Homo-oligomer: A and B are copies of this chain.
Amino acid sequence: MGSISRRSADVALRIFASGANLTPADQDLLARLTGEPQAFEAGSWIEPQTAPEERAWLVVSGWAAQARVLSDRRRQIGRLLLPGDVAGLSHLGGGARLGLLALTEVVVADFNLVRAAVEAGKSRGLARAWAELQRAEQAGALQQIMRLGRFTAFERTGDLLLELYERLVAAGLAHDRSMPMPLTQEVLADCLGLSIVHLNRMVQLLRRNQLIASEPRRISFLDLERLAEECHHPLSSEALAEAAPRSSFTGRAKVQNFAAGHISG
């Protein structure tokens, strides 16, 4: 949890503000209100679900998750946070509170002052950007509900991977039908409401069906369009545009797990 150079938050701030068209003055205000970056190691809670108040955080680098753990150790991940995402847009309160968990090594910046400024109506530009984040969070939640409610395990898995790819592309962190995948299958399973074993089998099915290929910490899509169709996932145009070069992975027979494993199928 050390302190990091303040500048390291710049990239994330840029991602956060992308599409919001902030004026220079707003950008400056935003930079001043953003707290010192802090690092958390993989597996640690940035904010436990029992925290007395809900703080706002900007994810600067690394992947985090908002999660709730039941007394019998069942765990549900409500939302995955990528660099540029913000946790704690609004105080949820009550029984709905989630904890914020570092899935990889994560750097976050305190965003409470930004939230306070937005709530106090200090800046129209920031308020617009904030509203856009809330919109995206709401849309993501609905997508998650659709997945969990009526999708099969196979569809859920493909749909989530596509969502992550699209979000990473939007953040400039993926391209060419390939993306980093630092998450363990346990984490993916907890997103999708599946057991680890079953999720593993779905990933293998995706591979056997020539829909994805994976290197240790990376996943490539062999047929984005077919995967999207089979998973009822409406592909964003940006994701398709980014996919043009159709990388060399297509030819390979290398079909492996994320972080280890051998050829299977």
Interface residues of A (CB under 8 A from B): 68, 70-71, 74-78, 89-96, 98, 119, 121, 124, 127, 131, 134-135, 137-146, 148-150, 191-193, 232-234, 236
Contact = CB atoms under 8 A, between A and B. Distances in A.
A121 B70 CA distance: 40
A124 B134 CA distance: 18
Given A95-B233, A138-B137, A150 B78 contact: no
A94 B139 contact: yes
Contact of A135 (B75, B90, B124, B142): B90
Nearest to A98: B142
B68 A146 contact: yes
Given A70-B232, A150-B70, A145 B91 contact: no
Contact of A95 (B94, B96, B193, B234): B234
A174 to B, nearest CB: 19
B192 A149 contact: yes
Given A70-B232, A138-B138, A138-B141, A146 B94 contact: no
Contact of A149 (B127, B138, B193, B234): B193
A236 B94 contact: yes
Given A139-B92, A150-B193, A71 B232 contact: yes
Given A90-B134, A91-B135, A124-B121, A193 B148 contact: yes
A233 to B, nearest CB: 7
